[in-house]
Amino acid sequence: MISTETFGALPAIRITAPDGAQALVALYGAHLLSWKTPDGRERLFMSERSPLDGSAAIRGGVPVIFPQFSTRGPGQRHGVARLSTWRLGSTGNEGTQVSAEFLLTHEDVPPQLAQGWPHHFALSLRFTLDGDTLRMDYQVNNTSDASWDFACALHTYFAVGTFTQTSLHGLAAGSIDFAGALDDIHPATATLDLQTPDARLRLQQQGFTEWVVWNPGAQGAAAIADMADHEHSAFLCIEPARVDQQALAAGAEWHGTHSITVVR
């Protein structure tokens, strides 16, 4: 079932599966605000200080990064997609699955942002719920008559309960037990296992080139205006990413997929 509601001051789309799994997506940024598995448990972190009026990027959930990762380029930090209002595209129901697609083109980008990256493009992001699995299908199309470079990511904030009791397995560098601030980029592997104090999540990706793992730690959180000082201990960001801008030919498209499964 697909329904509309307001989250803060933001128009949002609620996706509800037959088994009770739910996702809530703001049109602003096609930003996944909430994902609850059929047992009703929230799996994503959202900062209590995040703006929810479209005045700034949302802190938490899944920010959509395009066409620049962080400051790795001359344009808007983390790009324009998370600061633009998307449109609801096609929706679907098939068996236990329910999905909704969100669309953005260069024509939807606010003029003050478009000046910094004036290329023609079309983005599609589809969220699919299927039992204990959330799948995100991300597509980038170059609709211009010239090649341009882009980076992208799905900057997922996982609610982990207690950050320092969390471990990550499956990286090329080996396993990580978390103790303090980190901001690391790892080569992509197909599958990761995130072990939290009360759940195990399997993360899978295709099409991206890296995993980015981030937590600001106590000192970093204190310096972030839209994050309460104590909140660093409740989340871990693990994002499939393409951190360096790479060329996409005129008329070409790129696909990336990220799926998250709670392992029972």
Q: Give me 60's structure tokens.
A: 């938490």
pLDDT the model gives residue 78: 78
pLDDT the model gives residue 112: 85
Residues 205 and 240: their CA atoms lie apart, in Å, by 7
Give alpha helix (H) positions in the chain.
111-114, 217-222
CA distances from 140 to 44, 99, 258 (A): 25, 19, 14
Residues 58 and 113: their CA atoms lie apart, in Å, by 17
Range of the domain at 188: 2-263
pLDDT the model gives residue 148: 96
DSSP element (H, E) containing 153: strand 148-154
Q: Tell whether the torsion through CA atoms of 253, 214, 199 and 25 is positive or negative.
A: negative
Burial degree of 84 (CB within 10 A; 0-12, 13-18, 19+): buried
Max CA pair span of the chain: 50
* 6 bridge partner residues: 11
Q: Could you tell me the pTM of the whole model? A: 0.95
Residues 178 and 167: their CA atoms lie apart, in Å, by 6
Give the domain CATH number at 35.
2.70.98.10
Does residue 74 come out as left (phi exceeding 0), alpha (psi in the -120 to 50 range) or beta? Answer: alpha
Residues 191 and 205: their CA atoms lie apart, in Å, by 7
Nearest partner of 98 among 33, 29, 3, judged by Cα? 3
pLDDT the model gives residue 224: 87
* 24 bridge partner residues: 14, 34
Q: Give me 99's structure tokens.
A: 């999905």
pLDDT the model gives residue 57: 87
Query: How many domains in the chain?
Result: 1
| Weakly modelled stretches of the chain, pLDDT under 70 | none
